[in-house]
């Protein structure tokens, strides 16, 4: 199922690239090579996060156009977790995804920019209970990282379409907290 989702995303992005004037004849080899590299990379990301966090990768935006701007990874883990625990998971996830991207020699020729930095990726984590049910306030429902900020959301059981609370931390502040806790 996950490979189907990745394949669907990839094909949609290739279609969009073709519609936006990509020269098919000149770029067929690049597209085929990129498809192979990105498929291998997405498998590596899935395996890494599944092993490290017992996570289920929900989506990874590994399309050609997205890699030019901002890779996105979303995964689901079984909780609940405290904010402190999720901060560590987010910081580790950011660092791990950057290592996977920046150390991949086969991927590098397809990247518009190298190396990627934290503010150029997005990570989303959904937290469910052991039965894969939604977690509600006071437990944290989702944690994410985007544009140098960490977000922690709780969900109101009475209104599932709005967050009950949202806490935001600057990336550098969160990184310092995590590093200081490792040292102590």
End-to-end, the C-alpha distance of the chain in Å comes to 42
Continuous H helices in the chain: 2-19, 24-53, 64-67, 83-102, 171-183
Q: What is the pLDDT of residue 63?
A: 52
pLDDT tens, position by position, 59-73 = 555 554 555 567 888
- Predicted model pTM: 0.78
pLDDT tens, position by position, 71-83 = 888 899 999 999 9
What span, in angstroms and rounded, lies between the C-alpha atoms of 109 and 126? 32
Percentage of the chain modeled with pLDDT above 90:
46
CA-CA-CA-CA torsion sign (168, 171, 177, 178): positive
Rounded to the nearest angstrom, the gap between the alpha carbon of residue 142 and the centroid of all alpha carbons in its chain is: 13
Three-state DSSP class for residue 110: helix
The radius of gyration computed from the CA coordinates of the chain, to the nearest angstrom, equals: 18
Average pLDDT over all residues of the chain: 80
CA-CA-CA-CA torsion sign (44, 145, 111, 109): negative
């Amino acid at each position: 199922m996950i490979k189907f989702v990745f394949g669907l995303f990839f094909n949609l992005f290739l279609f969009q690239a073709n519609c936006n004037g990509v020269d098919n004849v000149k770029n067929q080899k690049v597209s085929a090579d990129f498809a192979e590299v990105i498929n291998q990379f997405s498998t590596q990301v899935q395996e890494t996060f599944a092993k490290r966090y017992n996570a289920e990768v929900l989506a990874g935006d590994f399309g050609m156009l997205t890699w030019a701007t901002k890779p996105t990874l979303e995964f689901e883990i079984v909780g609940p977790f405290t904010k402190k625990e999720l901060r560590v998971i987010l910081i580790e996830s950011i660092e791990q995804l950057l290592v996977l991207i920046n150390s991949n020699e086969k991927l590098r020729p397809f990247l518009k920019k190298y190396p990627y930095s934290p503010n150029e990726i997005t990570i989303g984590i959904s937290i469910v209970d052991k039965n894969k049910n939604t977690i509600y306030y006071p437990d944290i429902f989702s944690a994410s990282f985007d544009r140098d900020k960490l977000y922690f959301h709780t969900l109101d059981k009475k209104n599932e379409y709005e967050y009950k609370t949202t806490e935001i931390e600057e990336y550098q502040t969160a990184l310092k907290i995590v590093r200081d806790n490792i040292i102590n």
